[in-house]
């Protein structure tokens, strides 16, 4: 049961990919309507990394790490604020 962490645990790899901290980005869940910061999402680690909505467990992000590339799939509304 306790084999999951939270979005904070992959903050480093997300910075590597997106060039900014993603844990404070708010995601709106299309499944249950909840809005949570990425850092508050549940992280499951298997062959890849999967972030899930902490309210309904809907998949928010899938991340596959290979030696030469990163494959990222998003679900839901990610509101990213960038400096102008």
Q: Which residues bind other proteins (CB under 8 A)?
A: 1-9, 11-12, 15, 21, 23-24, 37-40, 45
- Considering beta carbons, is residue 4 or 59 the nearer one to other proteins? 4
- Cα dist from 21 to 30, 64, 76, 78, whole Å: 23, 19, 18, 13
Per the structure block, which two tokens stand in for 35? 């809005």
Task: Compute the least distance from the CB of residue 17 to other proteins, in Å.
Answer: 13
Eight-class DSSP state of 55:
T
Do 39 and 6 contact (CB within 8 A), yes or no? yes
- Considering beta carbons, is residue 46 or 84 the nearer one to other proteins? 46
Task: Compute the least distance from the CB of residue 11 to other proteins, in Å.
Answer: 4
- Considering beta carbons, is residue 44 or 59 the nearer one to other proteins? 44
Residue 63's nearest CA partner among 28, 11, 24 is 11
Task: Compute the least distance from the CB of residue 14 to other proteins, in Å.
Answer: 9
């Amino acid at each position: 049961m306790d084999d999951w962490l939270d979005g904070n645990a992959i903050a480093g790899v997300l910075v590597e990919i997106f060039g900014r901290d993603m844990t404070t980005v708010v995601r709106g869940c299309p499944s249950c309507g909840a809005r949570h910061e990425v850092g508050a999402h549940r992280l499951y680690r298997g062959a890849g990394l999967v972030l899930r909505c902490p309210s309904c467990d809907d998949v928010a992000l899938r991340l596959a790490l290979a030696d030469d590339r990163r494959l990222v799939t998003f679900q839901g509304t990610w509101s990213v604020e960038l400096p102008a």
